[in-house]
Amino acid sequence: MSLDIANITKNFGGMRVLDGVSLSVPTGSLFGLIGPNGAGKSTLFAAISGFQKQETGEVRLDGTRIDALTPHARARAGLVRTFQVPREFGHLTVRENLCAAAPNQTGESLLGLFFRPARVAREEAEIAAEAEEIMQRLRLTQVADQPARLLSGGQKKLLELGRALMLKPRFILLDEPFAGVNPVLIAEIAERIRDLNATGIGFLIIEHDLEALTRLTPYIAVLDRGRIIAEGAPDAVLADVQVREAYLGGAV
Ligand SMILES: Nc1ncnc2c1ncn2[C@@H]1O[C@H](COP(=O)(O)OP(=O)(O)OP(=O)(O)O)[C@@H](O)[C@H]1O
Ligand SMILES: [Mg+2]
């Protein structure tokens, strides 16, 4: 069971941003993706999740090709991403943000509202219950009624994770869950990710905070100028000469 990325290339204008990226991530795992600014990490997430069309390459989730699907269809297949800059609705409360992230509500179509009011009500109750459960899991219940714009950076990251969970994914692509988050909340977010992983959800996590990341992920890969240059256990990868030169400028 794995997320398999094969030979992904992506150009922006004349620039090759992803240059034949292949990676195999076990679907139950905690897997880190590191690399310098501009290496192409977020672009790789966009290609895997369907938000950007790649030039070449294939994406398989547990053996099934998903690279021709829309982002919605990939989410239905179990693969969901979060964004580097959280995309919550600032004027909506935490609870409302979670409910708004639920997929394909019958009530969204006018016909659905007219002809299936009971079903719409049932769906809305299910969505509300799901949101409550996710707030409990992420310890967001005490801010349920706060407008999202009033949340701290870390709480916004948790809400972003919660919005992904509303899609009931098997696998989540997390783009910089610790960026702009204070150390106490970083540890808490890491704990929540660990809890979710224990329930069977896999994670591929982009992160610049290497200490926090490598405490969480027993396996990491390094992307540099659109290519995977190393992967393995964090200690071995961070000791790799090519990685130190490319990513760390020899500073670590
Ligand atoms: N929509 C876009 N249009 C044009 N160029 C883009 C677009 N998105 C990203 N790029 C360029 O592609 C390259 C890779 O960007 P990307 O955001 O994937 O890097 P990253 O590894 O996520 O960096 P960071 O660690 O800073 O988030 C950069 O040179 C960036 O300027
Ligand atoms: Mg990025």
Number of structural domains (the chain) is 2
Global pTM reads 0.92
**Mean pLDDT throughout 154-173?**
96
Q: Is the pLDDT of residue 104 over 90?
A: no
Does residue 121 lie within any of the structural domains? yes
Does residue 186 lie within any of the structural domains? yes
Does residue 252 lie within any of the structural domains? no
| Tokens 């005490």 -> residue | 142
pLDDT digits (tens, 9 = 90+) for 179-197: 999 999 999 999 999 999 9
Same structural domain for residues 69 and 97?
Answer: no
Q: What is the mean pLDDT of the chain?
A: 92
Residue 200's pLDDT is what? 95
The winner for highest mean pLDDT among 18-22, 84-88, 122-126 is 18-22
pLDDT digits (tens, 9 = 90+) for 29-40: 999 999 999 999
Q: Nearest residue CA, atom 16 of ligand 1?
A: 40
Q: Which numbered atom of ligand 1 lies nearest the CA of 52?
A: 1
Radius of gyration (Cα) for the chain, nearest Å?
19
Same structural domain for residues 78 and 166?
Answer: yes
Same structural domain for residues 26 and 63?
Answer: yes
| Tokens 């130190």 -> residue | 244
How remote is the CA of residue 39 from the centroid of ligand 1, in Å?
7
Paired with 49 in beta bridges are none
Question: Among 149, 175, 196, where does a domain finish?
Answer: 149
**Mean pLDDT throughout 65-84?**
93
Contact 166, 88 (CB under 8 A): no
Same structural domain for residues 72 and 188?
Answer: yes
HEC states along the chain?
A: CEEEEEEEEEEECCEEEEEEEEEEEECCCEEEEECCCCCCHHHHHHHHHCCCCCCEEEEEECCEECCCCCHHHHHHCCEEECCCCCCCCCCCEHHHHHHHCCCCCHHHCHHHHHHCHHHHHHHHHHHHHHHHHHHHHCCCHHHCCCEHHHCCHHHHHHHHHHHHHCCCCCEEEEECCCCCCCHHHHHHHHHHHHHHHHCCCEEEEECCCHHHHHHHCCEEEEEECCEEEEEECHHHHHHCHHHHHHCCCCCC
Same structural domain for residues 162 and 242?
Answer: yes
Same structural domain for residues 166 and 177?
Answer: yes
Share of the chain above pLDDT 90, in %: 83
Same structural domain for residues 80 and 190?
Answer: yes
**Mean pLDDT throughout 153-159?**
94
Domain that holds residue 236: 2-88+151-246
Q: Is the pLDDT of residue 233 over 50?
A: yes
pLDDT digits (tens, 9 = 90+) for 1-41: 899 999 999 999 999 999 999 999 999 999 999 999 999 99
The number of the ligand nearest the C-alpha atom of 39 reads: 1
- pLDDT-derived band at 109 (thresholds 50, 70, 90) equals low
Question: Among 114, 129, 149, where does a domain finish?
Answer: 149
Same structural domain for residues 158 and 64?
Answer: yes
Same structural domain for residues 66 and 138?
Answer: no
> How many other β-carbons are positioned within 10 Å of the β-carbon of residue 235?
9
Paired with 219 in beta bridges are 31
Does residue 32 lie within any of the structural domains? yes
Q: For residues 174 and 42, give the distance between their C-alpha atoms in angstroms, rounded to a whole number.
A: 10
Assess whether the C-beta atom of 226 lies below 6 angstroms from ligand 1. Answer: no
Does residue 60 lie within any of the structural domains? yes
How remote is the CA of residue 133 from the centroid of ligand 2, in Å?
30
Pocket of ligand 1, candidates 42, 52, 85, 178: which has the most ligand atoms within 8 Å of its Cβ, to mutate?
A: 42
* Ligand 2 is an ion; residues with CB less than 5 A from it: 41-42, 84
Does residue 251 lie within any of the structural domains? no
Q: Is the pLDDT of residue 120 over 80?
A: no
Same structural domain for residues 95 and 139?
Answer: yes
